Amino acid sequence: MAQVVATAASSAQTVRVAARAGATARVVARAPFFTGAKLQAAARAAAPAARQQTRTMALFGGSAATKGSLYDFTVKGIDGQDINMSKFKGKVLLIINVASACGFTPQYTEMTELYNKYSRQGLEVLAFPCNQFGAQEPGSNSEIKSFAERKGFKGPMFAKSDVNGPNALPLFDYLKSQQGGLLTSDLKWNFTKFLVDREGKVVNRYGSTTTPLAIENDIKALL
């Protein structure tokens, strides 16, 4: 009986710690935009909470990525078919959450340019539509596919899905666990980019304002 009580108390303490960690991270995430020393201080304050939250989520089966490799994941293609990421073994990947009605949507043009230029050398540009940011991807999968085709994009496309929150694709939880963001690991907006080398290592993450052609040299170094 004593052992049961001790176990329950330990579990309750873990939940309380997780709640405090999550609350701290949310407070920092809602804080005004900081620069310089204030930004560094805010990042240091958020880091322990984020680490504790990730450990606790993993303990209780939350959305923290648990698989050991990018190639362990299966995702839905834009036409509804299952696609195992192992299909892309040995390729350099540029993974992007896209939207059709965003101020960054013109980046489709540069995505197409990179894909056309380097696909024969082993580059794949993977487009994951997402409607979480400003509801800027409201269409159906077929409408999204038609839009991308009109833009000239011929790279692999996937079904519309979440990239943050409890319903996020496990693949994106994994990407975020490998390359975290500013203050929190969540994606901040459409057209966030993850660069993956031929061994499946997530080597870099770029924000929305970094255009595909701006990272061309980083891509070439991996080909």
Q: Tell me if 170 sits within 8 A of 67, measured CB to CB.
A: yes
Question: pLDDT tens across 136-149, in order?
Answer: 999 999 999 999 99
The residues annotated as belonging to the active site are 102
pLDDT above 50: residue 62:
no
Instruction: Report the distance separating Cα 148 and Cα 139, nearest Å.
Output: 12
* Residue type, position 67, single letter: K
**List of E strands, 120-196:** 123-129, 193-196
pLDDT the model gives residue 125: 98
Q: 67 pLDDT band (50/70/90 cuts)?
A: low
Q: Tell me if 111 sits within 8 A of 210, measured CB to CB.
A: no
Which pTM does this prediction carry?
0.72
Question: pLDDT tens across 90-136, in order?
Answer: 999 999 999 999 999 999 999 999 999 999 999 999 999 999 999 99
Bridge partners (DSSP) of residue 66 are none
Instruction: Report the distance separating Cα 223 and Cα 202, nearest Å.
Output: 14
Q: Tell me if 155 sits within 8 A of 145, measured CB to CB.
A: no
Instruction: Report the distance separating Cα 116 and Cα 121, nearest Å.
Output: 10
pLDDT above 50: residue 183:
yes
Instruction: Report the distance separating Cα 218 and Cα 216, nearest Å.
Output: 5
Instruction: Fill in the DSSP letter of residue 163.
Output: S
Residue 212 CA, distance from chain mean position: 16
Q: Burial level of 113, CB count in 10 A (0-12/13-18/19+)?
A: middle
